[in-house]
Amino acid sequence: MHPLVRFLPGGLLLATALAAPPTPEQTEFFETKVRPLLAGQCLDCHSVAAGKQKGGLLLDSKAGWETGGDSGPAIVPGQAAKSLLISAVKRSGERVEAMPPKKALSAEEIALLEQWIDMGAPDPRPKVEATGALVKTFDISKRKAGHWCWQPVSRPVPPTVRHADWPRQPIDSFILHRLESAGLRPAPPADPRTLTRRLYLDVTGLPPSPADFARHGVDGPGFDAAKVVDELLASPRFGEKWARHWMDLVRYAETCGHEFDYEIPNAWRYRDYLIRALNLDLPYDVFVREHIAGDLLAEPRRHLVDQSNESVLATGFWYFHEAVHAPTDVRLDEAERMNNQIDVFGKTFQGLTIACARCHDHKFDAISTADYYALTGYLRGTCRTDSVVDPGRQREIAARAQLALRAQAIPVLSRKASPGNAFLAAHDLVRARIETGEAQVQPDADVIAKTAAEREMDADQLAAWCRLLAAEPSEPRTPAGFWSSWVRKPEILPGLASEARNARQSLARFRQETELFADFSGSSLPTGWTTTGQAWQPSGPQPGAAFSSGHPVSSPGMVSSALLGEAHVGTLRSPTFPTPTPQIHIRMRSDQVLARVVTANYHMAAFSRLLFGGTIRSKDETATGDTFRWISLEGDLRKYVGQNSYLEFVDSGNGHATIDEIRFSNGPRPPAEFPALLDRLLADGGAAPAGASDLAGRLDALWQEEVEGRGDAAVLDWLLGQELVPGTEAKDFRAVVAQGATLAAKLPAPQFALTMAQGTPENGFISIRGSHLNRGAEVPNRYLEALGGERGTRLDLAGQIVSTGNPLAARVMVNRLWHHLFDRGLVRTVDDFGVLGETPSHPELLDWLARDFMEHGWSVKRSLRQMLLSATYAQASTAHPELDSKVIARVDPANVLLHRAPVRRLTAEEIRDAILAVSGRLDPTAFGPAVPTYRSAFMTGRGARPSGPLDGAGRRTVYLSVYRNFLNPMLLAFDMPNPFGPKGRRGTSNVPAQALTLLNDPFVLEQAAYWASHETSAPSLAPGERLAVMLERATGDLPEARELNRLQAFWQAQTAACQGDAQRAWTDVAHLLFNTKDFLYIR
């Protein structure tokens, strides 16, 4: 008996019972069994009385569990099996966490709860009004009002200072004002050598050479810091240094990590983009716009030299996330991926921890869960794609000219031409020889020539038909085999015609049983279909010329990458659809083109046939040969039914595909079909062709029809492709086709960049408590409510970020610049301006810099120049000698007020680059694919790539590979971050591992030897002179006598210990200098 029934007075209907107030029996059951259980096991964390509402759930009244917690109602009265409460106590792991957390209920207790719920969950307890901490406190406007970072950027005026002669820049007034208020005074200016070395390393990441010092006159009266600054900011080395700072933010990497460390292709193009953008001082607002929506700009910015699309490259940053190759749940994978993308987006551009609002409204900041999921909508509506890099816009120009030509080709053909005549004449010749039993059915050349002359037709055309008919017979159901088979056995014609008609019927039936997704019948691509690159073009409503080999005429109503020739490349994408069926069938003719379903934007399926078999057809799998066939996406596709997907066709060169139609199928499979030519010849019209003259008539009729722009062009394409049209007739057509093909013939090898493309716009959905299985309300695409919350496109979103009304974009960026020059941001937590971040040390200065930045074209170099030329920056790194160290210890122990310049260790990249620069090994080549990571014997594991050279080919560190699973140990030892999330402020560890690296690492030793040989091969110097040169090269200092004496003593001792091997001793000197703190630190 159903438990409910037992408690019901006879005859009462179930529905009534559920709505009715509890009966006395039910109340007693609740009071004696359920209430004690709830009180003992649940209410400590789920009641107003206890002041706790874990998971948003109250269980102290019916209203509590009816409203439910974050995951919705806890109890479905009458249905224990559907109640989350039961799911939780049974610890099923579905949607809700196991409860009670510490110890499971007994089986009896669980049964009791089930019984109670099944009887309708009678609960006589009155509603308890929430009080105190349980009253929902998340209020965006209150949060916003309560924290500085949301407030508009103010217009501070530089404060007046007592020592008015000290400031060189407005910056200095702010700094000095604070110093004076604290009873401090600035340090004296650093000496020109120290300042020059600091400037070189801060601006370019490379140390100055002795020649640089000399050129700038650091030891004389003519030293001009402004000249040094301007020269350095204009140096191509500037971008190489500052790009790396940005790469820390966007977790730049060239592989995906995880099990096999698969490649992130062409990542380096993004790195090069950064370097170029920084070197040309691209306004920061443009820079940000390009990052967020560079693919959507109506007029993208062009590469200065080769005119290729520069803006779109910036969008690559979205895709440097880690990636797994075998997720059993792609939507979970998508949720994790978007979380990382939003984390990078939020911290990098806005200094906000937006990603923290994934599971709940932000605990501290004015960011709601709805805000978070509103941003996921933007990402859901995008596609990761390989953009075509088009230097010189050659592809674009060629494609435009080719498209114009296409329209001209068909009209040159004469509708009066009669292919049937030549066919009939050839048939007569060949047939006669067959009937006379000639062993050789091919007519002699002179016979062909004579016949052609007699009948006034083109001899070449006649000969071509003769060859076709006389050829060795092959499969009659192919355009080539049909003619030779039929001419020998005319009796097969009715049978073939009937097969062709049947095939048509089967196809018609298949079409009835399946759902059409796209048939490309319009003159442009169907709504929502998009392309990247030039390859994919709609064939249009009429036959047209095509410039790839084999098929000179395109059929109407298709989309094709064959029209402009094989050299063009690109991607074709469908709009996004909830995968409706477990099979998708595509009628296409293809070679070397990839076809796939992309579900939940998951792009690694190619690496996991175990989970995604059948959802991808590789370039070889889509090869259909010369005819149209149905290619099926199926197999594991069944797992993704209902999930958002789009179709993608990728032509990455030397291939082509023409797509006719795409259908969704729940089971019916596409039939085999007749090649289009035979279909038209044999199945058209009321009756099957009776013989040669019927066929000739049909050829002529179809020719005329197609030349006039009707029909599917099967006959035109075949006749022109096989050169069965008289030379006189086809000459002009061929000339156009040849001209079209030539336009693409000289295109260089294709190049690609990883970028974002817009797909079908989608909205986000709240995932309750961050679980993608627990879907909540839909939210439209918009930016944070606290910052206006305007809806719009991704381009609009970018506009909101860099609008002058946005209080964060400029503040965050100038703070980053400051951080890198002063080793500490005005807001120390450079990636978090929220409540958990630190408050600004100099809020007015921050706002002054931000406003100045926005009002002067968001120029990074201008902003940097002001900082670099400030008196603050130019200070020595030791406090003013007249300052009492006790005062310093009390008011500014951490130098937050900048009473002196900071001392900082060189970054990982600066150490390696400086070693190369000093040793003379530095190769200044800029840009291009990265140098593979040197892999020591200790670096093993899955996905290991062949090792690169120990010295990284002498290239700057920014040009070395970043393989997630094989990061460079030396760089990591010196705090290069691992690329998993935004990292605007690196750690600065100070550990013995660094000493061991510089003492014993083979790279350092190799460079020491290189440097020593370099120095000793130079014009002969006395040992003391050479030591002085080396010391200056390494540290920027002119040696003092005691340093020189110590070095000389060391050199002599080592020479003696090495049995007079002076070269060895010079290497030891070089090695020693790489370890000195003067080399490793900037003062």
User: To the nearest whole angstrom, how small is the minimum distance from the Cβ of residue 384 to another protein?
Assistant: 19
What is the pairing mode between strands 904-905 and 775-779? Answer: unpaired
Q: Please answer whether residues 363 and 356 qualify as being in contact, where contact means their C-beta atoms are separated by less than 8 angstroms.
A: yes
Please tell me whether residue 711 adopts helix, strand or coil conformation: coil
Q: Is the bond leading into 100 cis (omega within 30 degrees of zero)?
A: yes
Please tell me whether residue 518 adopts helix, strand or coil conformation: strand
User: To the nearest whole angstrom, how small is the minimum distance from the Cβ of residue 1032 to another protein?
Assistant: 14
DSSP 8-class letter at 99: S
Residue among 523 and 989 whose Cβ is closer to another protein: 989
- Residue 308: count of CB within 10 angstroms of its CB: 22
How far is it, in rounded angstroms, from Cα 822 to Cα 814?
A: 12
User: To the nearest whole angstrom, how small is the minimum distance from the Cβ of residue 344 to another protein?
Assistant: 11
Q: Is 298 exposed, middle or buried (0-12, 13-18, 19+ CB in 10 A)?
A: exposed
User: To the nearest whole angstrom, how small is the minimum distance from the Cβ of residue 946 to another protein?
Assistant: 15
Q: Please answer whether residues 246 and 275 qualify as being in contact, where contact means their C-beta atoms are separated by less than 8 angstroms.
A: no
User: To the nearest whole angstrom, how small is the minimum distance from the Cβ of residue 830 to another protein?
Assistant: 12
User: To the nearest whole angstrom, how small is the minimum distance from the Cβ of residue 66 to another protein?
Assistant: 26
How far is it, in rounded angstroms, from Cα 525 to Cα 560?
A: 11
Residue among 923 and 1001 whose Cβ is closer to another protein: 1001
User: To the nearest whole angstrom, how small is the minimum distance from the Cβ of residue 467 to another protein?
Assistant: 52
How far is it, in rounded angstroms, from Cα 206 to Cα 232?
A: 10
What is the pairing mode between strands 530-533 and 570-573? Answer: antiparallel
Residue among 516 and 1056 whose Cβ is closer to another protein: 1056
User: To the nearest whole angstrom, how small is the minimum distance from the Cβ of residue 709 to another protein?
Assistant: 50
Q: Please answer whether residues 589 and 564 qualify as being in contact, where contact means their C-beta atoms are separated by less than 8 angstroms.
A: no
- Residue 302: count of CB within 10 angstroms of its CB: 13
Residue among 135 and 937 whose Cβ is closer to another protein: 937
Q: Please, which contacts does 912-916 make with residues 24 or more away whose CB atoms are closer than 8 Å?
A: 912/952, 912/957, 912/970, 912/971, 912/1003, 913/205, 913/206, 913/956, 913/957, 914/201, 914/206, 914/207, 914/1079, 915/1003, 915/1004, 915/1007, 915/1074, 916/951, 916/954, 916/956, 916/1007
Q: Please answer whether residues 319 and 307 qualify as being in contact, where contact means their C-beta atoms are separated by less than 8 angstroms.
A: no
User: To the nearest whole angstrom, how small is the minimum distance from the Cβ of residue 5 to another protein?
Assistant: 27
Residue among 324 and 468 whose Cβ is closer to another protein: 324
User: To the nearest whole angstrom, how small is the minimum distance from the Cβ of residue 317 to another protein?
Assistant: 17
Residue among 237 and 964 whose Cβ is closer to another protein: 964
Alpha helices in 489-617 (DSSP H): 492-513, 609-612
How far is it, in rounded angstroms, from Cα 550 to Cα 658?
A: 13
Residue among 389 and 611 whose Cβ is closer to another protein: 611
Residues 6+ apart with CB under 8 A from 1072: 1047, 1050
The residue type of 454 is E
How far is it, in rounded angstroms, from Cα 345 to Cα 271?
A: 17
User: To the nearest whole angstrom, how small is the minimum distance from the Cβ of residue 198 to another protein?
Assistant: 13
Count helices and strands in the chain by DSSP H and E runs: 41, 22
Instruction: List the one residue out of 158, 181, 366, 172 whose CA is nearest residue 851.
Output: 158
Q: Please answer whether residues 372 and 366 qualify as being in contact, where contact means their C-beta atoms are separated by less than 8 angstroms.
A: no
User: To the nearest whole angstrom, how small is the minimum distance from the Cβ of residue 122 to another protein?
Assistant: 30
Residue among 793 and 878 whose Cβ is closer to another protein: 878
Residue among 332 and 471 whose Cβ is closer to another protein: 332
Q: Please answer whether residues 1044 and 1030 qualify as being in contact, where contact means their C-beta atoms are separated by less than 8 angstroms.
A: no
386 to 220, 247, 929, 945: CA distances (angstroms)? 55, 20, 16, 23
User: To the nearest whole angstrom, how small is the minimum distance from the Cβ of residue 564 to another protein?
Assistant: 41
Alpha helices in 604-691 (DSSP H): 609-612, 676-678
Instruction: List the one residue out of 251, 254, 258, 253 whose CA is nearest residue 327.
Output: 258
How far is it, in rounded angstroms, from Cα 802 to Cα 784?
A: 14
User: To the nearest whole angstrom, how small is the minimum distance from the Cβ of residue 1061 to another protein?
Assistant: 10
Residue among 374 and 998 whose Cβ is closer to another protein: 998
Please tell me whether residue 594 adopts helix, strand or coil conformation: strand
Token code pair at residue 157: 């005026």
User: To the nearest whole angstrom, how small is the minimum distance from the Cβ of residue 951 to another protein?
Assistant: 16
Residue among 248 and 281 whose Cβ is closer to another protein: 248
Residue among 394 and 1013 whose Cβ is closer to another protein: 1013
Residue among 445 and 1049 whose Cβ is closer to another protein: 1049
Residue among 623 and 950 whose Cβ is closer to another protein: 950
Residue among 568 and 639 whose Cβ is closer to another protein: 639
Q: Please answer whether residues 941 and 259 qualify as being in contact, where contact means their C-beta atoms are separated by less than 8 angstroms.
A: no
Residue among 102 and 746 whose Cβ is closer to another protein: 102
User: To the nearest whole angstrom, how small is the minimum distance from the Cβ of residue 50 to another protein?
Assistant: 19
Alpha helices in 124-235 (DSSP H): 140-145, 170-181, 192-204, 210-215, 225-233
User: To the nearest whole angstrom, how small is the minimum distance from the Cβ of residue 528 to another protein?
Assistant: 31
Residue among 323 and 719 whose Cβ is closer to another protein: 323
How far is it, in rounded angstroms, from Cα 967 to Cα 213?
A: 35
User: To the nearest whole angstrom, how small is the minimum distance from the Cβ of residue 961 to another protein?
Assistant: 14
1039 to 210, 214, 742, 1078: CA distances (angstroms)? 12, 15, 67, 11
Residue among 355 and 756 whose Cβ is closer to another protein: 355
